[in-house]
Amino acid sequence: MKIIALSCTQKRLPSVTDALLEAAVTGLVQEAKDAVIQPIRLIDHRIEMCEAEDTCLDPSVGRCTLEDDFQRVVDLAEGADAMLLAMPVYGGNVPAVLKIFQERLKSFMNAANRPFGNMTVATIVHSRTMLTEPALGALFPWYLRLKNKNVASVCVSQNDHQELAGTAAHDLCVALGRQLGMSLEAKSSPAPSRTVLPLLQSPPRPRCGDPVASRPGA
């Protein structure tokens, strides 16, 4: 089972994004014993901006004509069943390196099997202060176009913490990886028996129109 670990930071190593992604990988391999992890750091590859010529959509061309590392990244993801994606928030949105890559994937719009598509996905979004949820939301149109299924998401902000990777964010990302692993295992085999948490229910409340019970001493 091949899983992409896609780091979308624009920083060189070490980075918080990669630390959180590694925590998620740790959780994933606990549940998916046969997982083969393919790490991809977009910033380590030269991926040029789409020039919007749309020659890639011409059936006689059939591919992006820009000469860079884009096709190499696509080849690394070939045959993947799932993806862990981790990204920081830049300017309240996805990082430019990911946005450029998303736009370049347009060259496979008419392909029967689209790269980075038809996968089970889990997503990590982190920021210094806030806006993680809007950035996460910006990913979903891309996921939907590629027919990806996001089964778990973690949004964390550093705020007053000196080092985000040293907080409970690490544990959240491990849990996210485990959730993705469980989802993949459930698709291939019956889920193992687990402790079922009790369902907490509030006591019944009177509904509009119900007779009012008399109170003692009223």
Residue pair 173/143 in contact by the 8 Å Cβ criterion: no
Distance of CA 164 to the CA centre of its chain: 18
Confidence category of residue 177, pLDDT binned at 50, 70, 90: very high
pLDDT band at residue 213 using 50, 70 and 90 as cut-offs: low
For the stretch 65-94, pLDDT in tens is 899 999 999 999 999 999 999 999 998 899
Residue 47 has what pLDDT?
96
User: Which domains, ranges and CATH numbers included, belong to the chain?
Assistant: 2-188 (3.40.50.360)
Q: Is 23 exposed, middle or buried (0-12, 13-18, 19+ CB in 10 A)?
A: buried
Per-residue pLDDT, 54: 83
Q: What is the pLDDT of residues 14-44, one digit of tens each?
A: 899 999 999 999 999 999 989 999 999 999 9
pTM value is: 0.84
H helix intervals, the chain:
16-31, 70-76, 96-104, 132-145, 169-188
Write down the pLDDT at residue 135: 94
* Helices and strands, number each (H, E), in the chain: 5, 5
Task: Determine the Cα–Cα distance for residues 174 and 176; give it in Å rounded to an integer.
Answer: 5
pLDDT over threshold 90, residue 53? no
Instruction: Write down the residue that tokens 């059939």 correspond to.
Output: 62
The structure tokens listed for 125 are 């979004």
Burial class (CB in 10 A: 0-12, 13-18, 19+), 96: middle
Q: What is the pLDDT of residues 86-101, one digit of tens each?
A: 999 998 899 999 999 9
**Would strands 36-41 and 82-88 be described as parallel, antiparallel, or unpaired?**
unpaired
DSSP 204: P
The model's pLDDT over 112-161, given as tens digits with 9 standing for 90+, comes to: 788 999 999 999 999 988 889 999 999 999 999 999 999 999 999 988 88
